[in-house]
Structure 1
Amino acid sequence: MPASESLFQRCEDYLRFLRVERQLSPLTITNYQRQLQVICQFFESTSLGSWQQLTPVLIRAMAAKSRRDGLKAASLALRLSALRSFLDWQVSQGLLPANPAKGIATPRAARPLPKNIDVDSVDQLLAIDLQDPLSVRDRTMLEVMYGGGLRLSELVNLDCQHLELESGEVWVMGKGSKERRLPIGKTAVEWLVRWLEMRELFLPEDNAVFISQQGRRISTRNVQKRFAQWGVLQGINTHIHPHKLRHSFATHMLESSGDLRAVQELLGHANLSTTQIYTHLDFQHLASVYDAAHPRAKRGKS
């Protein structure tokens, strides 16, 4: 009997456990099965005779071979997770004394940089000069979102009592029910004043700042839809969504001030590491300026 077949016999017992006792979905079980088959095939190539012979060295070799075969970090993490869970089950069944995969580090997937738009594109987006109430409402939402770096949930949950227009500030409830006070800028205040004068036309049902045509608090889906539509109407060559304006606020603030801690406070990030991703965006901007301007950066170009 090939080693991989004998190894996989125990995998089949584990998959039966997932199906019957854990009652996982068929798709999840299929994914586990696929990963464990590949794992068994590799260990067969190393002449591994039983799971009791498995060592951390062999597991690292399997991970290295997977990387050489072009497996992305997220897929490799899934493979190691499947193996680790399978070995944990063996330990729980008394089949192994310990899990040899416990100390194997899971590779981190590259964190995608948030997408933002440049200042000129923001100005183009915000140049909405229509005076009908819905257009005024939408421009006000855009101005407040970009002016204060709000999350979408913070924008739609704004109530009239959260506005302090004389000082140009708003109170928002962020993640973890943490309240924070934000400056939003003169332009956003001016549009809020204009919108609040029109808001009563929709017979509002509560104190929500931004309401739909039916007088109810505007939904997150409606905001997303309206922002995307305005991006197209204003000729922006990228999809506009609320979080892109928040990213743009953070990037432009950091480029201008260089004050990472202040940007952290404005965004309501609990950890500075979350805010530090914007330093990568800022560096990309600086690197592009360097490449365009520095004489030594142009070497090799004709």
Structure 2
Amino acid sequence: MVKEYNTSTFSEQDRTGDIALPSHVAGSGTLDRLVDTARDYARSAASDNTLKAYAKDWEHYIRWCRMKGAEAVPPSPEMIGLYLADLASPTSKAPALSVSTIKRRLSGLSWNYTQRGFTLDRKNRHIATILAGIRRRHARPPMQKEAILAEDIRAMVATLPFDLRGLRDRTILLLGYAGGLRRSEIVGLDVVRDETQDGRGWIEFFNEGALLTLDAKTGWRTVEVGRGSTDQTCPVHALEQWLHYARIASGPVFVRTSRNGKRALDARLTDKHVARLIKATVLKSGIRADLPESERVALFSGHSLRAGLASSAEVEERFIQKQLGHASPEMTRRYQRRRDRFRINLTKAAGL
């Protein structure tokens, strides 16, 4: 008898439906509520974007196995090793994937197998040695996004209109830059603590500036955003003005506006809006006008704001590390584009 395995993509119900009382335990109101609580926690185990990526990874592997006449489950280290090799050096017309993307695909497969009750041994020689060979032959330095520096951010906000939508977008750019925030951290802000289920932080105002408490990808952290030297470029002033004119006293800080850009709506912005805003204002402001438009768009992303703060702020490295929420100085240095390049000439210092 051939055992049937589930190879479908997991829905939210699939991820939480197997969380239930054991069959030999009698249900009760208290236990049933605990089951519901446990399912809520299970839904929060990974972000929606991560789960979507893992679902696509699984669909791709299932399709690949079918084309090769193989079964996706139970896990076969030999087949997965061949799959990784095909991703790096495709036998079809598909483009070769980067090492980082291949590693992400493997993580996606591991997660999906775990959901189905299997364990994928990523240290198995059929997987580990092939992945090590791919890394050795194809690894390249990471492609870093261009940093948005102080003069750039001033030029970008100058392209925005002076309506409510322009005020909102100006605040997003200034706050994201001064706080060294991720896209998800910007749009996840609430006015007050614990106001919404999808909120990822809140704001407190002080005479000196604003304090952001964030539920970031590396854990909770606080970010101090001080007041700027002028109202035109002060992120705290812009934030106060946005909340005042948008008449936002509770709920999400950054929301959509009406089509004419004059009225704030209730729906929270997505992090994709931040990415589109950065690319659009980079083009309008003429930053890196020496490059074709397609290259300029590809050079800048949400990470450009974080890299810009790390590269521009002339303070001790430990303060930048704390602001960005990095666990190590090494990670912070990866964000510092050209900051210390040739500042110290060791050639001359060595006597040459």
TM-score where L is the length of structure 1: 0.58
CA offset digits 1:92-115 (Å, max 9, x no partner): xxxxxxx99999996464233442
1:244 aligned residue: 304
Amino acid at match of 2:165: L
User: What does 1:221-232 align with in structure 2 at a 5 Å threshold?
Assistant: 221-232=272-283
- Of residues 173, 176, 183, the one that matches 2:218 is 176
Aligned residues of 2:145 and 2:301 also touching (Cα < 8 A)? no
1:131 has 2:162 as partner: yes
Q: 1:73 to 1:228 in 2, by over 3 A?
A: closer
Relative to 1, partners in 2 of residues 1:113 and 1:222: Cα closer, same or farther, differing over 3 Å? closer
Which residue among 125, 128, 144 is the counterpart of 1:88?
Answer: 125
> Gaps (5+ residues) in structure 1?
1-14, 39-71, 91-98, 295-302
Residues 128, 135 of structure 1: 8 Å contact kept: no
Q: Is residue 171–residue 235 contact of structure 2 (8 Å, CA) maintained in 1? A: yes
2:75 pairs with 22, 26, 34, which one? 22
Contact residue 172 and residue 179 of structure 1 kept, 8 A: yes
Q: Percent identity?
A: 20
Deviation at 1:20, TM superposition (A): 6.1
1:163 corresponds to: 204
1:281 aligns with 2:332: no
Distance 2:125 2:319 in 1: 45
Asked if 1:192 is matched to 2:239, the reply is: yes
Q: TM-score under structure 2 normalisation?
A: 0.51
Q: Against the structure 1 CA distance between its residues 35 and 159, is the aligned structure 2 distance closer, same or farther, given a 3 Å change threshold? A: closer
The 3 A distance-change label for structure 1 pair 280 and 31 is same
The answer as to whether partners of 2:209 and 2:236 remain within 8 angstroms in 1 is yes
* Counterpart residue number, 2:252: 208
Q: 1:183–1:135: structure 2 CA closer, same or farther, 3 Å change rule?
A: same
Residue 16 of structure 1: how far off its partner (Å): 8.0
- How many positions carry a matched residue from both structures? 223
Larger helix proportion, structure 1 or 2?
1
Structure 1 position 262 matched with structure 2 position 319: yes
Residues in 2 aligned to 1:269 and 1:117: alpha-carbon distance in whole angstroms: 19
Contact 1:139 1:191 in 2 (8 A): yes
Matched to 2:281, the amino acid is: W
Runs of 5+ consecutive residues of structure 2 not aligned to the other structure: 1-67, 92-96, 107-120, 193-202, 229-233, 258-264, 289-295
**Counterpart contact for 1:149–1:249, Cα < 8 Å:** yes
Q: Give the alignment's Cα RMSD to 1 decimal.
A: 4.4
Q: From the two aligned structures, give the one with the greater strand fraction.
A: 2
The 2-side partners of 1:103 and 1:227 are apart by: 36
